[in-house]
Amino acid sequence: MSIGRRCRLLAVIPLFCALSLQSQTSPPDSGNTVATIKAKVRLVLVDVVVTNGKGDAVTGLHKDDFQVLEDGKPQAISTFEEHHGAPPTQIKLPTLPPHVYTNFPATQTADSVNVLLLDALNTPSRDQTFVHSQMIKYLKTIPAGTRVAIFTLASRLRMLQGVTSDSSELLAVLNSAQAGPQQSALLASNAEADANQRLIDFMIENSASPNPQTLAQAAIDPINAMKQFLSDTAAFQAEQRIGITLQALQQLARYLSSVPGRKNVIWFSGSFPLSIFPDADVPDPFNTATTFHDDIRKTADLLTAGQVALYPIGAEGLASDTAFEANGKEIGEKRPSLAMQDQVKQLQASEVSRDLNHSSMDELAKDTGGQAFYNTNGLNDALTRVVNNGTRYYSLAYTPANPKMDGKYRRIQVKFLKGKETLAYRHGYYADDLETALAAGQKPDTDPLLMLMGRNLPDYSQILYKIKVVPSDPQPAPDAPRIGSNPDLKGPFMRYGVDFAISPQDLKFEVTPDGARHGNIEIVLLAYDREGKPLNFVVTKGNVDLDAKLYASVQQVGLQIHKEIDVPKAYVYLRTGIYDLKSNAAGTLGVPLTDAVVTAAK
């Protein structure tokens, strides 16, 4: 839907005559054949950054300078556009009545947005400090008009600053305590790794076990048991970090999907646990990550659909081996033989870990159209290059000659026909019906909407809606049962009514021959206190069944639903959300419920 059409729709949807959300149990089928509305043509969009031998963006190229192949077969380029970093366009929204809010994005960008992702989950604290100083240095000289957002990743994804071109706002956020270094609970520090090795060394030095051991003796040897325990702990922590990282990338891709143009995610991290896209040249692309197969595929689909390019940047700067650091083990602390063994092990482990990490960075960048930067202290220079080149790119689109949606991975190759410049572009995609693929990747024990309802997550606008939030009139008696999933809500409380008006064009309906529409959605209300502690929440899942006449009315006034929630009589931040269970699209919106709002509404 075009921006103009969506904005007009926003203006005409009135508030509010409410339609109750039906239960999850739908009436028996009348026998009519259900036909699902499906797109007939799939358009593949590929952003291409072209750089010369100096690493600078090459501009002024034309469609005839490129050739696109899918699985080795040439494709006809249907559209071609060069981007130069166009300034943002402000959308003037209609004036809303009191206590009415919308998740419609007021700012649209034509070309690109840059996202700084500070990864504390996968990065040692000392490297976070180095990254922090380099970012501040860069933002003090950022070109005017550059669009930047700032996110952090620790135990979860948090938005510190939404997309803005105000460098003073960005610097203020970076200088706040929220952006400071955080110790990862799932990443062992060098001190912890050293302590573990000291423990093993101590056990070896004081061991009375014969050497070599029999198999039976080895099975009950406490040294082997401790080594296995430490190995299992490290593996568990790595799995947890991978899961949280994938979830964060999915949330970020959803947010960025509503922003037009290319999104350059500049990801500062000390380690990159895995590649998101598979290697189509090997028999089993997910051989080392079978546990996360569905999540990896879901993340890949969301990044592709959101036009997101990842730029991994090694937070460690110019890497050195820990065995040669000044704060290493003191000379003479161990027997020379053990000290030499430990130093060799450290060198080998560091080299293997560094190579695997750099390989993952290269794969992440290659498969999403970005560029990896590592083994350098010039993070400020890397940032400058990413922003300069990421805003100057070419968009090529084609309709695949192979129309089958068979779920297989399709390889993309873009060739430059008039020179030896370097091209950066995403190297493939899944031939999936995106909606089906995302649904298949959803774990049954995870609520997809609740994952997007965090206090510090941004508002999502895949589904546009308006809400009116006012205290219910009359208010319930003090001893009345509470509405919400927290029946033990303490102290004086207030009941709020939340009226939704949802854009039906953003929902997926199945249509029957008589013109009726059938959908399935989830609505969530989640209240937080000032510190971000959840206070109460309401979750409703149900069917939306509209006959032809009612659907025609809904197109004019929006799908209107009324919900209520009880919250304490104090400052409350209310997050609202809608999720389409058929298309996996989402919309969220946060509203502060202050004393001023309560007083004005009376």
Higher pLDDT, residue 87 or 165: 165
Average the pLDDT over 93-113 and give the result. 80
3-state secondary structure of 447: coil
User: How much is the pLDDT for 464?
Assistant: 92
User: How much is the pLDDT for 472?
Assistant: 94
Contact 588, 575 (CB under 8 A): yes
Q: Give the pLDDT confidence of 246-260 residue by residue, as tens digits.
A: 889 988 988 887 777
Structure confidence at residue 87 as a pLDDT band (50, 70, 90): low
Give the C-alpha separation, 305 to 208, whole Å: 61
Does the pLDDT of residue 84 top 90, yes or no?
no
User: How much is the pLDDT for 36?
Assistant: 29
How many residues are given for the chain? 602
Structure confidence at residue 352 as a pLDDT band (50, 70, 90): low
Q: Give the pLDDT confidence of 201-223 residue by residue, as tens digits.
A: 777 777 765 566 666 655 567 77
User: How much is the pLDDT for 31?
Assistant: 35
Contact 267, 117 (CB under 8 A): yes
What domains sit in the chain, N to C, each tagged with a CATH number?
3-37+441-601 (2.60.40.10), 44-84+392-432 (2.60.40), 112-207+214-389 (3.40.50.410)
What percent of the chain is predicted at pLDDT more than 70? 76
Kindly report whether the global pTM for this prediction surpasses the value 0.85: no
Higher pLDDT, residue 49 or 94: 49
Average the pLDDT over 149-176 and give the result. 89
Burial of 91 (0-12, 13-18, 19+ CB in 10 A): middle
- Give the ranges where 95-175 is alpha helix by DSSP (H): 125-139, 167-174
Structure confidence at residue 233 as a pLDDT band (50, 70, 90): confident
User: How much is the pLDDT for 88?
Assistant: 60
Q: What is the DSSP letter of 198?
A: H
Q: What is the mean pLDDT of the chain?
A: 78
Sheet bearing 465-471, strands edge to edge: 100-102, 465-471, 493-502, 559-568
Average the pLDDT over 579-583 and give the result. 90
Q: Give the pLDDT confidence of 22-73 residue by residue, as tens digits.
A: 333 233 333 333 322 233 346 788 999 999 988 889 999 999 999 999 999 9
User: How much is the pLDDT for 178?
Assistant: 81
Q: Give the pLDDT confidence of 490-506 residue by residue, as tens digits.
A: 888 999 999 999 999 99
Give the C-alpha separation, 448 to 456, whole Å: 17
User: How much is the pLDDT for 423?
Assistant: 94
Cα four-point dihedral sign 268, 272, 274, 275: positive
User: How much is the pLDDT for 283?
Assistant: 46
User: How much is the pLDDT for 102?
Assistant: 92
Give the C-alpha separation, 461 to 256, whole Å: 9
Give the count of beta carbons closer than 10 Å to the beta carbon of residue 88. 19
User: How much is the pLDDT for 22?
Assistant: 38
Q: Give the pLDDT confidence of 362-380 residue by residue, as tens digits.
A: 888 888 888 888 887 777 7
